[in-house]
Every structure is written in structure tokens, then in C-alpha cells.
Structure 1
Amino acid sequence: MAIASGFGTGKHGDRAGFASAIVLAVIAVLIGYEAVSRFLSPVPIHFGEAIPIAVVGVLVNQASASLLSGGHHGRSHDHGHGHGHAGHAREDEVQKIFASSGVFTVSVFEDGVPPMFRITPATEHSRLDSSAMTVITVRPDGTQRVFAFADRGGYLESKEDIPEPHSLKAIVRMPDREHEVEFEEHEDGHDAPEAATRDRNTRSAYIHVLADAVVSVLAIIGLVLARMFDWLWMDPLAGVVGALVIANWSYGLMRDTGAILLDMNPDRRMAENVRHAIEDRGDKVVDLHVWRVGPGHMSAVVSVATSKSQRDSRFYHALLDRFKGLSHVTVEVQPAHAVA
């Protein structure tokens, strides 16, 4: 299978982040070395000069952190990827229906993927049956469309995505009767999963600023205690603690950016949706790999076995082109009998 060797400059930010992580590690080592040296060989401390300088450092770093945070980069290192599949629909997009087989929620799910209908049990004893449930959409102009469902293990998902616009009336046909719900159009600023859009370069700069701020705060605490109680050992102790904190941040940043540079962070949710989009149309995914190539951009390499001779790579490119954030796709198509 031919795989393109170049994916643009999307990982430059991650390379810069990895380099920043190394610099942070070096800084942690130097601070730790200096602190231990002062434990072994105490030196005179000029409190009148050191404390004001440390205070100014905290103020400057606080201002810098505010500029860099943008409401996103100050979060913890690990934004878990194990979100529940049905947990991304907003509360006002979820409709509840009561049927003889139980209580269910019906939602339009579109978090980084083509919008799909999802039907999820709302109570423990609600029973799902993909063959007995369909949704009929009714547009304002009177046009209708029928959506069949596939069982995803714990919830049902429509086999086809919902065309724009998403302001529509939906008739949920269940074994007991038909249930009518309505959905309104919403602006959605999340064009790609958050894991794919985070800028590690900005994050590394933010961590640098936080590291400086932490060291300054610890220095102030150590200097004040040393001056008040003559605890000269507090100053090097604050340095050791600061070195450990910075080393921990450095490790987290190095781990995250290193995984991206080595293509070790597959996006399982996007891979699952790509697989379903292909296999729901009667084909088989032989091999699939989805990974992040830059902020807001992912790449996919997929090998498909099909018994339909009219389907070539262009068919699957068009199929996957609707996935938000999937910027580069490589497809190999082979006859189904070749992999039987």
C-alpha cells in the first residue's frame, strides 16, 4: 500500500513542545543541583533584594500565563479519551421517549464525526432492537427520509449520517407505536475532537511560565520563613520541591509530545466511526490506523475488502471526506475473495 511520506508542518508545534520539555528537564536538574549544593554549603542570603525580585517574577509570570491560557492550556496534562459514546450530545439535543419496551433517549450525535441519530436506553431494563427501530425525518418542505439502525453495543446508531440542516421533525418508529420528537439547529464550534486540536507548543510555553511562577512562589515562601525564623535551610528546600514539580511537568509534556511524534496516539473514537462508516455499507475493513498529524488534523490509512467491483478508492475517499478533522486519507481497495 502506498503511503504518503509527508504530512506537512502539522507536527512542528509538537517538536517545539518536545524540545521545551527537554529544556524544562535541564532546568529542573540545575535547580535541584543548586538546592542540594546550598544544603551542603550554605551561603549568605540578601533578603532585601531576593524577596522583591521573586515577587516581581510571580507577577510577570501570572500575566504571561493569563495571555497564554486562552481558557484551554491550563488544564491538566491528561484529557481522558474514554468518554462514553453517548455522552457528547448536549442536554438540549437529547429527546426522551417512553415505549412499552422501556425508556430511551434519542439524540443527534456530531462530536467530530458526521451527525448520526443515536438511541440509548435510559433505564436498566429498556430493550434495544435495531431491526425493530427506525427513524423517519420530516423536513419543513415535506421531504422524508428513513434511517435504519445498527447495534453498537449499548446503543443504536443510524447507518447513515443526517444531512444539513439539523432542524427537523423525527418520527421514531418502535414496535409499540410511533413517537414524534423535534431537533433544533445548533452552532457547534467543536470541529474536531479536543485531543486533535490541542497545541503542544503553546502548552509547553504555558508550562514554562507556570514553572517559573512556581519556583518564584516557593522561593518567596522559603525566603520569608528563613528571614523570620532563621531557617536558612528553607531556601534550598523550596528549590528541591520546585525542581521536582518542574521535572513532573517536563515528563508529562515529553510523554505526550513524544507519543505524537512517534505516531503512538491512535484516535480510537475516530477509528471506530471510520470502521462503521465503511462496514455498514457491506464492506470489510482489513486494516485501519488513525492518528494525529497536527492541531485539528488527523490522518487515516485504511485497507478495504469489497465484493462490489464498482467501488474504488474514490468511493471511500468521498465517504470519509465528511469526517471533520480527518485531513489525510490513504485507501487501499482489494477484492473480498483475496482476503477470504
Structure 2
Amino acid sequence: MHRHSIEKWQQDHDFVITNKRGETRTRYVLLLTTVTMIAELIAGTLFGSMALLADGWHMATHVAAFLITLYAYRYANKHANNPAFAFGTGKVSVLGSFTSAIALGVVALMMALESVERLFSPQPIQFNAAIAVAILGLTVNLVSALLLKDHHHHSHDQQQHHLDHNLKAAYLHVLADALTSILAIAALVAAKYAGLLWLDPIMGIVGAVIISVWAISLIKETSPVLLDGSIDKAYLEAIQGRIEQDADNRIADFHIWHISAHHYAAVITIVSDMPKSTAYYKNLLADFDRLSHLTIEVHRCQDKDCLHS
């Protein structure tokens, strides 16, 4: 039985974002947003404002998003070393962001349908009360944005800064909600002083469009990570050049894919007339710091033409 240490050949599989400060601040924002959401939904129903209801429903999506954000932090850290996950739980926060995007899309559709109905069947609005609640919502959104503004985190060695997609999703949620609150206030003021009652449901539609744009953007950002998308072409070509410009090496097979939002794994098969150890080739790529998990397979070329064709 092999009794020697094999630690130097083992690679880390913990690619989880640890952001305790962001997690704590997300809890504060969740509490603020939940209270404001309830107030706006009740006020929008009682005062007959579709723009206010749209803002309230928009806040409801943020409450769901913040819950997903907190759950993703907890689940990822709890299972960071679980061998059931081949490359750890680095994608959990990305999955949470993707889920938020789907929820946003559904709510945007509901808001748009309700706004169109109100456009053709307007209802009376109690402007003063509705405007007051909308201003309260905007204030909460701005405070929440300040709490979540710093959505970067340090890597384990504290030498690199990475974007925390989980916290960024929460931050952009409150920014989008702040914009929706501004639209609601503008619609209510215009309707009160200029008689533009149709502007209230129009702003509801605008809010739905804003949410839809955010949802699509978030899906585009997270989908490549969840689908094992490769690294950008220039980076990939730089890796290939580094190996093939060294001696007579040729790359026969080459795969790079996401194992978290900011980490990549790579499997490279090298053919060489005078092959060296895998440690040698790994050292060649030591400065490619986006490669967090690297597996190299080396073969001696049996056909002289295979290297110089």
C-alpha cells in the first residue's frame, strides 16, 4: 500500500465566495425592503395607484432575491467541502442569481398585464397618500443601495479582488427599484397636477420593461457560468501559445470551463517528441491565475510528422 504523502498533487476544490459583511448587510436590506413592500402594496390597493402597486410588486421580487442571496451564501459555505460536488459549490451563488432573473421575468409580465388593464380601465387615485408612500419607498431603496454598494470580495489569499455576483444582483435590484419609485412619483405628480391619469399605468408598463431588461441581463451574465462556458478567446490562445512555443509541444485536446463565477478548470492533452513532466507544463502556466484547477495529460509522439505537419 502507498504510504507516502500525496498532498502536493492534490488541488483545492473550494471556490466559494465568503462575504460575511455582504451577507449581514443583505439581512438589513431584506428587513427594510419587506416592510416597505407591504406598505406600498397596501397603499397602492387602497389608493388605486398602479404605479405604486408596480413599485410594491417590484420590491416583492427584491425580497425574494435577497432571500435567495442569503440562502446561496449559507448553502455554498455549508457544502463547500462536500465531495458530492465535483468542483465544490462555487456556482451556487450564480444559480441564485439566475433564479432571481426568472422570478423577475414572471413579475414583469404580471405588472405589464395589470398596467395595460388599468390603462383601458382607469381607477380613482388618492394622490397625496400614494405620493407619500412612494417617497418612503425611494428613501428605503437609496439607503439599501448604500448598504450594498461594495459588492466586491477578497480571494482566500487576499491578493485578488473579485465581483460578488450574489451581492451585485441584490445591489442592482435596489437600484432598479429606486428607478421604479422615481417613475411612480413622477406619474403620480403629473396625474395630480396636470390631469395625466394615463401616465400612472404607463409608468407601470415602464417599470415592467425595466425589470425585464434587468432579468435578461442577469440571465446573459449567469447562463455561461451554469453551462460551463469557456474562457475568452484571447486568454485561451495565450495559454495555447505558451505551451506550443515551448520546445516541440502540440496541444491535442484542450477544454476550459467555469467552475464558479471567477474560477476556471482546464484539461489539456499535450503531445511532444520529448515530453516533460506534468509539473513542468503546470509551471509554464503558473502566471495564468484564472486557472484554478488544472489537469495535464502528456503523450510522447510516435509519428514524427504529427509535430511538424
Q: Normalised by the size of structure 2, how large is the TM-score?
A: 0.64
What is the aligned counterpart of 1:304 among 270, 283, 301?
A: 270
2:94–2:166 Cα contact (<8 Å) kept:
yes
| Equivalent residue number for residue 25 of structure 1 | 105
What is the aligned counterpart of 2:135 among 55, 65, 90?
A: 55
Q: Secondary structure at the match of 2:284?
A: helix
Shift of 1:69: 2.5
Structure 1: gaps of 5 or more residues: 74-188
Count of aligned positions: 217
1:284–1:304 Cα contact (<8 Å) kept:
yes
Find the aligned partners of 2:232 and 2:90 in 1 and give their Cα distance. Answer: 16
Structure 2: gaps of 5 or more residues: 1-12, 14-84
What does 1:4-43 align with in structure 2 at a 5 Å threshold?
6-43=86-123
Residues 190/38 of structure 1: CA separation in 2 closer, same or farther (3 Å cut):
farther
Identity %: 39
Find the aligned partners of 2:291 and 2:198 in 1 and give their Cα distance. Answer: 55
Find the aligned partners of 2:210 and 2:111 in 1 and give their Cα distance. Answer: 11
Query: Cα deviations across residues 231-275 of structure 1 (Å, max 9, x unaligned)?
Result: 111100001111111101110111110111002242323322221
Find the aligned partners of 2:203 and 2:241 in 1 and give their Cα distance. Answer: 54
| Equivalent residue number for residue 250 of structure 2 | 284
What is the aligned counterpart of 2:239 among 253, 262, 274?
A: 274
Does residue 336 (structure 1) correspond to residue 297 (structure 2)? The answer is no
Residues 273/329 of structure 1: CA separation in 2 closer, same or farther (3 Å cut):
same
Query: Cα deviations across residues 183-235 of structure 1 (Å, max 9, x unaligned)?
Result: xxxxxx9748xxxx333212221221122112111110110000011111110
1:54–1:216 Cα contact (<8 Å) kept:
yes
Q: Secondary structure at the match of 1:337?
A: coil
| Equivalent residue number for residue 199 of structure 1 | 164
- Larger helix proportion of the pair: 2
Kindly report the root-mean-square deviation, in angstroms, between the aligned alpha carbons of the 2 structures.
Answer: 2.4
Large movers: runs of 4+ above 6 Å: none
- Larger strand proportion of the pair: 1
Find the aligned partners of 1:295 and 1:262 in 2 and give their Cα distance. Answer: 11
| Equivalent residue number for residue 323 of structure 1 | 288
Find the aligned partners of 1:191 and 1:280 in 2 and give their Cα distance. Answer: 29
Shift of 1:322: 3.7
Query: Cα deviations across residues 81-124 of structure 1 (Å, max 9, x unaligned)?
Result: xxxxxxxxxxxxxxxxxxxxxxxxxxxxxxxxxxxxxxxxxxxx
